[in-house]
Amino acid sequence: MTPARSGPTPVAPPDFGHRTVVLRTAGGRFSVRFGLRSALVTALLAAVALGLAIVALGIGEFTVSVPDVVSALLGHGTGAVHMVVVEWRLPRVLLALLLGAAMGLSGAIFQSLTRNALGSPDIIGFNTGAYTGALVVILLVQGSYLQTSLGALAGGLLTAALVYLFSYKKGIQGFRLIISGIAVSAMLASVNTWLILKASLEQAMSAAVWGAGTLNRVSWDHVLPVALSTLLLATVLLCFGKNLALLEMGDDAARALGVRLEVSRLVLVVAGVALTAMVTAAVGPIAFISLAAPQLARRLVRGPSVSLLPSAAMGAFLLVASDLVAQNAFAPTQLPVGVVTVSLGGCYLIWLLAREIRRK
């Protein structure tokens, strides 16, 4: 008589090509698996971003040392230090972290969905339309900051709807959407150029400053809506994020693996647009982070394609660093942060590309 087996035979775990870590709850009901390098890169980037944020809280016309900053954050700060750190600078730094992460996420979503390294929310013409809306408010109506934000939001959403409408013909085909986006963006870019040409020099310059994206006029009023929206969208992405990698394998493979194609794509696109809309409404269209952060994160993680969390961490880091430079490089003149993101992000990308050359 053969003795009964004591349990199921252990099976060798599959080889993913990189080290992975699995976390399981006690009963084994919930588990999550992530790549080790990806987790390390995300943690490192987040730590650097937070460190830079704390340093940024201390730098400015009124310098505060790092220990004082930390104690002020923990609630032990005295009068002037508390006012400078918590009331003036903290909202700006918090927004830089949140909005940078939002842009990184949005860029990763679009680059993954379009399978194109140049994919960005602007393929549906959102940023250009937002700029048109803002220009109309600034130049024709001479509106306030809030009205500019609303105008930008309205312009962007209308443009996205228009692009969707033009590309809808018994369903959405990817390339029709892209080409419609290009066409509508180009038309609106022309309108923007015309409006800027026709305005007076001062108006045109202030419009151009908004168009570059600036954190100059943010306050605590902005932080709560941004934080809530980011939380909501992050929850959505938590559920649908893993579908991104599956969608990249092609429609048939994804369907065979149980992904509901139309629902996933729609939710992901709406989430990506919502993230971009939130950033544009809060501080204007900040260029380049949604384009560069996923590519930079991908090169650090050495993954097959863009991934969500590392892109978010990289985006947060890029925006905090850029804001630090924008505020202090040409003091007392403050540059719009969008100008610096473009330059710094580009330099970092060049450095990474150059390093790849030397390694080969």
Partner 1 sequence: MTAQTMVPGPEVQDPAQAAPPAGLTRTNRVRLLGLAGCIVLLLTALFLSLAVGSKDVPAGVLWNALTAYDGSPDHVVIHDLRLPRTVMGLLVGIALGLSGALIQAMTRNPLADPGILGVNAGAGFFVVLGVAVFGISSINEYIWFSFGGAVAATLGVYALGSSGRGDSAPLRLTLAGVAVGAVLGGITSGITLLRPQVFQAMRYWGAGTLAERDGDMVSTVAPFILVGTAIALALARPLNAVALGEDTARSLGAKVGTTRLWTVVAVTLLCGAATAAAGPIGFVGLMIPHVARWIVGPDQRWIFVYTLALSPVLLLASDVLGRIIIRPAEMQVGIVTAFVGAPVLIWLIRRRKVSGL
Q: Which residues bind partner 1 (CB under 8 A)?
A: 116-119, 123, 166-167, 169, 173-176, 178-180, 182-184, 186-187, 189-190, 193-194, 196-197, 201, 204-205, 208-209, 212, 287-288, 291-292, 295, 330, 333, 335-336, 338-347, 349-350, 353-354, 356-357, 360
Q: How far is the CB of 252 from partner 1 (least distance, A)?
A: 16
Nearest residue (CB) to partner 1, 220 versus 348 = 348
Nearest residue (CB) to partner 1, 153 versus 335 = 335
Nearest residue (CB) to partner 1, 209 versus 273 = 209
Q: How far is the CB of 210 from partner 1 (least distance, A)?
A: 11
- In our burial notation (b when 16+ CB lie closer than 10 A, e otherwise), range 7-44 reads eeeeeeeeeeeeebeeeeeeeeeeeeeebebbbebbee
Residue 236 to residue 271: CA distance in whole angstroms: 8
Residues in the chain: 360
Nearest residue (CB) to partner 1, 83 versus 208 = 208
Q: How far is the CB of 37 from partner 1 (least distance, A)?
A: 20
Structure tokens at 253: 């493979």
Q: How far is the CB of 41 from partner 1 (least distance, A)?
A: 19
Nearest residue (CB) to partner 1, 128 versus 229 = 128
Nearest residue (CB) to partner 1, 50 versus 179 = 179
Q: How far is the CB of 325 from partner 1 (least distance, A)?
A: 11
**DSSP string covering 24-92, please?**
E-TTSS-EEEEEHHHHHHHHHHHHHHHHHHHHHHH-SSS---HHHHHHHHTT---HHHHIIIIIIIHHH
Query: Going by C-beta distance under 8 Å and a sequence separation of 6 or more, which residues neighbour residue 251?
Result: 261
- The answer to whether the beta carbons of residues 97 and 320 sit under 8 Å apart is yes
Q: How far is the CB of 221 from partner 1 (least distance, A)?
A: 26
Burial degree of 180 (CB within 10 A; 0-12, 13-18, 19+):
buried
Nearest residue (CB) to partner 1, 20 versus 343 = 343
Residue 165 to residue 180: CA distance in whole angstroms: 9
Residue 79 to residue 249: CA distance in whole angstroms: 57
Query: Going by C-beta distance under 8 Å and a sequence separation of 6 or more, which residues neighbour residue 188?
Result: 125, 128, 129, 131, 132, 159
Nearest residue (CB) to partner 1, 39 versus 349 = 349
Cis peptide bond N-terminal to 332, omega within 30: yes
Give rounded-to-5 percent helix, strand, coil for the chain. 70, 5, 25
- The answer to whether the beta carbons of residues 121 and 151 sit under 8 Å apart is no
Q: How far is the CB of 353 from partner 1 (least distance, A)?
A: 5
Q: How far is the CB of 75 from partner 1 (least distance, A)?
A: 38
Instruction: Phi first, then psi: give them for residue 35, nearest 5 degrees.
Output: -75, 145
Q: How far is the CB of 350 from partner 1 (least distance, A)?
A: 5
Nearest residue (CB) to partner 1, 116 versus 219 = 116
| 3-state secondary structure at position 278 | helix
